A and B are shown apart, each in its own frame.
Chain A
Amino acid sequence: MPELGRLAICLALLFAAYATGVSIVGAIRRRRHLVRSGAHAAYAVFALVVVAVAILLRALLAHDFSLEYVAAYSSSTLPVQYTVAALWGGQKGSLLFWAFMLTLFTTIVQVQNRERNRDLMPWVTATLMTTAMFFLGLLTFVTDPFERLPIAAREGADLNPLLQNYWMTIHPPSLYTGYVSASVPFAFAIAALATGRLGDQWIRSVRRWSLFSWFFLTLGNLFGARWAYEVLGWGGYWAWDPVENAAFMPWLVSTAYLHSVMIQEKKDMLRVWNMVLVLLTFSLTIFGTFLTRSGVISSVHSFTQSGLGPFFIGFLLLVLVVSGGLVAYRFPELRTAATVESFLSREAAFLFNNLVLVGIAFAVFWGTVFPVVSEWVRGVKITVGPPFFNRVNAPLGVALLLLAGIGPAIAWRRASPRNLWRAFATPVGAGLVAAVALLLARVPLGYAHATFALGVFVLGTIAQEFWRGMRARQAMLHESAPRALSRLVGKNRRRYGGYIIHVGVVAVFVGVAASSAFRVEVQQTLAAGQEVAAGKFTLRYEQITKQDDPHMSRLAAVVSVWRDGRQIATLAPEKRFYKKPQQPTTEVAMRPTLTEDLYLVLGSYDEESGLVTLLAYVNPLVSWIWIGGVIMALGTTVAMWPTLAERRAPAYALGAARVPAD
């Protein structure tokens, strides 16, 4: 059976090469049948990759330890959900999973565009299939997921215990979905450059794909943060680790694109810039994968390190050279006359928003690669850790929040003093009141204070937009308030979906600022019955409990949590010892509320004395980061949801030429 999987991958590679070749020849020679043959070959690639994935999954579920991959990343006692997650838990499986997602998206794109974008599609197919060839080539020639062991193992080594967590079953697929779906806008951008159709057509065709990719990058980052928070047990959720940065950079650039593309749609400018952002987002996804695999920069998250780095660097260079070359070739046609009339305009606000987003992406990139640069130049290894990233990015983040308040409210073209007053008097007033109230509440001046006050300002502008839109509908159409509000959003989904996303962004900013600035940490060694204070909580260590099963043994400290003389919870942080990989892990116990999380870690337990060492963190407002994520997801769904008109006439609504099928 595994041999069949290998055969499927080899055939998929051949079909991908065929699809690339005939699509390009078909496009250049204008041969419809070749283009169609390329599309059909792309379907075949998907079908073959599905076969390979199914075979590997079956081998995992059947505990076929004759396969090196199954023996290395699973065991007979591994719970079934993590056995499935082992599909992307190791390098070979994750590359196969990547190929699966890529060919799935290629198939969807083909189906969506059967009758549209005929001029672009051969190039889109060729680009996506070239990317597929890279991954399938690695799976065929370099790292075979169906490799057999000389002698079948009796038991598997098990999945890394750190990956045996609920969030780990959804974090990598989300991130991969975000990464891989960025290939679709990239492919359309390359197609636009190759054909010279540089106007709105490709932009409109990838609008939903860009949002889709951004949506999953957002979720992937937040799920990863949540995983780190629950599993790594250091009280935080983001450590500016190179692999975290690798996931964050494409998100930043993609966010910049989603904003600046509005200017292109509205004013037909920034064509070069938008093209560059799309190409850069895709390049950063490859760079991110390179960081994860190469081990060139040490990271706690590099679960799948290997010698694949040079291949990824090679592919990245190919992407950069081809895209850069095409942009340079089309530069005269891409250039458009820019017409930003004033600093006080939405165009200018969006441009500065782009500057800050790309600036943060650059700062993160620079900090991530600086240790390598330093080693090259000085021969000295240095560390660029969280203090660097926090200090560099905090002011840029605050500036971004400010722009998130200005951008949606300021007028296009040129804001008059009257417009400025009308747009900003109330939100600025609300922000000022919040700033003063925070000072009175003894929140010191600083980033957290500024974030809270600016958060109120941003929410003020958004609330005002909703309010005015609703009132206008009520006045003109005599609708009830709820109906006016739902119609307002329903008829302008992209705009109001965007505003909802901004509400989520504010929640994330507030959660990050509060938990970074006002965290309380306590570390104490306790005997049974002894207490320690952590912020407004009193923690009493009650007893230790032990559990043992074939998969792991657990040691839990039972801690009662008291507040104002009343017991409010019992928490049991654990130390676990996974038997197959012989590895201890920390299992955090949490009491999350909207105002703060009480986060307990069992540091150590001394069998002889019965003493435990507890680490307690009181993290204010952390829940708002996750709530913000949910709000952002809701807003993105609103923005992506097709309108009735789009559902009825998709080709027209997408701005694509609808031509009859031949």
Chain B
Amino acid sequence: MAVLLLAVLLAAPPVAFAAATQQEVEEALTCQCGCGLTVHACNHLQCGSGEPMKKEIRERLAAGEMKEAILETFRARYGEKVLSSPTFRGFNWLAWIIPFAAVAAGGLGLAVAIGRWGARSTTAAPAAPEASGALRERLARELAEFDAE
């Protein structure tokens, strides 16, 4: 069930891709006042950066501009750092893909390893008692200490 749920979930887009809202555009941009927050989250109402940006976004959306065009305008003005997350193009693509690739590679490796261990364990002799490693080590240690005395 849970796997199914997860599959449904992963298939679902993380955000609704309807017409861009003010919030969506504001969240895609970083406030340039140094607060480190998105334009949407920046709450300095007299903020010299966030407030004019919010106003401009409102006006551009009202004029029927698309999200991408608005982001491009800001990017041309402030540079790529104004975007709150890396683009999906060129080198930036690595930012997005590498975490998932790493987890996928790890998962694949793990799956192959478990498959192999599983196959081996069905043919191998019964496993040694669980505490044998610890006991062996304790024996060795105590013998060593005994010898040292």
| A interface residues (Cβ-Cβ under 8 A, vs B) | 30, 119, 197, 199-201, 233-236, 239, 241, 266-268, 298-300, 336, 338-343, 348, 351-352, 355-356, 358-359, 362-363, 366-367, 370, 374, 377-378, 380-388, 390-392, 394-396, 398-399, 402, 405-406, 428, 431-432, 435, 445-447, 449-450, 453-454, 457, 521, 586, 601, 603-604, 613, 615, 655, 657, 659
Contact = CB atoms under 8 A, between A and B. Distances in A.
Contacts of B2: 402, 405-406, 428, 431, 454, 457
Contact of B1 (A199, A387, A428): A428
B117 A387 contact: no
A603 B50 CA distance: 13
A343 B3 CA distance: 14
Interface in B1-29: 1-3, 5-6, 8-10, 12, 14, 23, 27-28
Contacts, number: 193
Contacts of A398: 6, 9
B137 A362 contact: no
A446 B12 CA distance: 7
A387 to B, nearest CB: 4
A392 B137 contact: no
B80 A236 contact: no
B117 A340 contact: yes
Contact of B91 (A235, A378, A384): A378
B1 A432 contact: yes
Q: Most chain-A Cβ atoms within 10 A of its Cβ — which of B111, B114, B122?
A: B114
A396 B103 contact: yes
A384 B94 CA distance: 12
21 contacts: A197-B141, A199-B136, A201-B141, A300-B37, A340-B117, A341-B117, A343-B118, A358-B106, A362-B102, A374-B92, A381-B79, A387-B27, A387-B38, A392-B100, A402-B5, A445-B9, A446-B12, A447-B9, A447-B14, A601-B43, A657-B145
Given A378-B91, A657-B138, 15 more contacts: A300-B35, A339-B117, A340-B114, A341-B118, A351-B114, A374-B92, A383-B81, A383-B82, A383-B83, A383-B85, A385-B37, A392-B99, A431-B1, A447-B14, A657-B141
Contact of A355 (B14, B92, B107): B107
B114 A348 contact: yes
A453 B132 CA distance: 42
B48 to A, nearest CB: 13
* 9 tightest A-B CB contacts, nearest first: A363-B99, A603-B45, A199-B137, A385-B84, A268-B133, A359-B103, A388-B85, A200-B134, A450-B9
B38 A267 contact: no
B133 A236 contact: no
A341 B122 contact: yes
B4 to A, nearest CB: 9
Nearest to A458: B2
B127 interface: yes
B134 A454 contact: no
Contacts of B41: 234-236, 239, 386
Interface string B37-72: 110011101100000000000000000000000000
B110 A352 contact: yes
A362 B101 CA distance: 11
A7 B75 CA distance: 54
A138 to B, nearest CB: 27
Contact of B96 (A356, A392, A396): A392
Contacts of A235: 41, 43
Contacts of A199: 133-134, 136-137
Q: Most chain-A Cβ atoms within 10 A of its Cβ — which of B1, B3, B14, B102?
A: B1
Contacts of B43: 233-235, 586, 601, 603, 615
A638 to B, nearest CB: 25
A300 B31 CA distance: 12
A342 B1 contact: no
Contacts of B138: 657
B95 A388 contact: yes
A655 B85 contact: no
A383 B84 contact: yes
B36 A659 contact: no
Contact of A362 (B23, B99, B127, B145): B99
Contact of A386 (B80, B84, B98): B84
B142 A266 contact: no
Nearest to A355: B106
Contacts of A384: 85-86, 95
Contacts of B42: 234
B8 A197 contact: no
A200 B113 contact: no
B38 A339 contact: no
B12 to A, nearest CB: 5
A21 B30 CA distance: 51
Given A239-B36, A351-B110, A450 B28 contact: no
A362 B99 CA distance: 7
A234 B23 CA distance: 14
B30 A359 contact: no
A317 to B, nearest CB: 22
A378 B80 CA distance: 12
A34 B27 CA distance: 61
A659 to B, nearest CB: 6
B127 A339 contact: yes
Contact of B118 (A340, A381, A449): A340
A192 to B, nearest CB: 11
B91 A391 contact: no
Given A200-B137, A341-B122, A447-B14, A355 B110 contact: yes
Contacts of A383: 30, 80-85
Given A339-B127, A445-B12, A604-B46, A453 B5 contact: yes
A233 B83 CA distance: 22
B86 to A, nearest CB: 6
Given A387-B85, A396-B103, A197 B137 contact: yes
A318 to B, nearest CB: 26
Contacts of A355: 103, 106-107, 110
A200 B121 CA distance: 24
A380 B86 CA distance: 11
A406 B6 CA distance: 14
Contacts of B121: 339-341
